Structure formats: structure tokens, C-alpha cells
Amino acid sequence: MGDWWQRNIMEPGKLPLLLALGAFVLTFVITRVVTRLIRAGKGPFGNVRAGGVHIHHVVPGIVLTVVGGFAAVAGGRHGFGSAVAAVVFGVGAGLVLDEFALILHLDDVYWTEAGRKSVEVVVVTAALVGLVLAGFTPFGVDGLSPDERQDRANVIATVAGNFFFSLLALAKGKGRLALFGVIVPLVALVGAVRLARPGSAWARRFYGSRPRARAKSRLRAYRHDRRWAGPSRAVQDWIGGRPDPVPDRR
């Protein structure tokens, strides 16, 4: 275990990344627990106010992210200072992305349906950082052998191919596959070869005069959403809390 730690974490200088990821996930978990307690009216916690203004935790999160980011750039990848900077950055990023939906909508949507975006962004971010920590690099260059890496043409072709597949998947409305395809080779290929989702840039451009393709795209999207919407909502409710019900305006 010690040899693995030295070879895979310490020597490549990945300790700050590991500390940042741990601080990021732990901060998100603690923040969600505290906000749930505040919402339920339990415990000693409460909203922070200054002069009648509700100070959202994204505010100290931004400060910590900026401080930790600049300190990490100045401190390098080794030493006690870089470890502290990584933890500070991870804590700040956790606070900021926990209120990603608020930044996106410029409104306090934390406990609404729109607030689920924060949970999605945090989960995706943690997964991507975990993949990078495990040894994956953008555009799949890590999948090449040492001899292939010496051949610049192979490296360029690999990067360009995965980047193209990611762009194609994104144009077809497969954002998650496009994002993970940047890190893991050929993941984006799945989204690139399948039908585009209705309303995507690809569907608007190429399905306009193809009614059968439009109908097939809508049917496939409907079946996919019907199959996965329930489990996805259950996981998001378990992680981030159930949103407030939409008030009846009648």
C-alpha cells in the first residue's frame, strides 16, 4: 500500500488534487446536512444575515476558491503550503458549486426543482476529478503506450478524434457523454453515433426535413427519460434533499 501511495500519488504530485477532491466532497456533504437541518428547524444552525441581507454560502466559497487557487499556483505541487492551498480551494469549490443553480438563475432556487442542477454539477465534478486522479487525462492520451506517445502524429490523432466525438455528442444534446468523453476515450463516441435529442443543435439542423428521424428521436428520448427520470430523481433527493412542492396557483 505504501509503495502504491508513493508511486501513484506522491511522485506524480497528485496529493494536492486528492486533498482538494476530499475537501470538496466533504464540504458539500456537510453543507447539505447543515442546510437540511436549517430547513427542518433543527439544531443550532441558522441562515447568516448582515444588515437584513441573507449571505449565501457561495460568497465565502468564492473567497476561499480565489485564495486557494492563487496560493496553489504560487506554491507548486509539493510541500505543506500546496496541501493547505488545495484544501482551501476544495472547500471553496464545494461551497460555490453547492449553489451553482443560484448562480445560473441569479435567484434563490436552492430548494426548488431548478436547484437540482447544483447536485448534478457537484456529482459530475467529483466524478471527473476522480477520473483524473485515477490516471485519466483529457482526450485519452493516457491510453497510448510509451512508444505511441513518442509518435506525435498518434497523440494528435487521438486528441483530435476524441475532441471531435465530444463535440458531436454535445451537438446531439448528450452533454454528460460529451463531458466524460473528454476524459475517457471513446465514451463520447456512444453519443456521437446515436440519434440526437429533440431540440438539440443537431436535430434542428439535420432533422428539420426528416419527419421519421424527428419522430424516432422524440420516441427514444421519451423512453430514455421515462426509464431513468425516476431513479435519477430518487438519487438527487437522497443526496441533496427533496425540492419544495410547486405551489398551486389556481
Residue written as cell 501511495?
5
In a domain, 249, yes or no: no
In a domain, 135, yes or no: no
In a domain, 23, yes or no: yes
Domain range for 4: 1-128
Give the pLDDT score at 143: 63
Task: Point out which residues pair with 49 in neighbouring strands.
Answer: 54
CA–CA distance, 22 with 108 (Å, rounded to integer)? 27
In a domain, 227, yes or no: no
In a domain, 183, yes or no: no
Give the pLDDT score at 85: 94
Q: What are phi and psi of 28, to 5 degrees?
A: -60, -45
Q: Cell numbers at residue 192, please?
A: 456521437
In a domain, 7, yes or no: yes
**Largest Cα span, the chain:** 69
The DSSP secondary-structure symbol of 107 reads: S
In a domain, 210, yes or no: no
Number of domains in the chain: 1
User: Full-prediction pTM beyond 0.85?
Assistant: no
Span 179-234, pLDDT tens digits: 898 888 788 999 999 999 998 999 999 998 899 999 999 999 999 889 988 898 89
Q: For the beta carbon of residue 206, count every other beta carbon within 10 angstroms.
A: 15
Residues 29, 45, 126: CA angle, nearest 5 degrees: 15
Amino acid (1-letter code) at residue 55: I
Collect all residues with Cβ–Cβ distance below 8 Å to 129 and sequence separation of at least 6: 17, 20, 21, 24
Give the pLDDT score at 13: 79
In a domain, 161, yes or no: no
CB 141 within 8 A of CB 158: yes
Range from 33-37, 75-79, 102-106, 188-192 carrying the lowest mean pLDDT:
75-79
CB 207 within 8 A of CB 214: yes
Task: Point out which residues pair with 53 in neighbouring strands.
Answer: 50
Span 123-133, pLDDT tens digits: 999 999 998 88
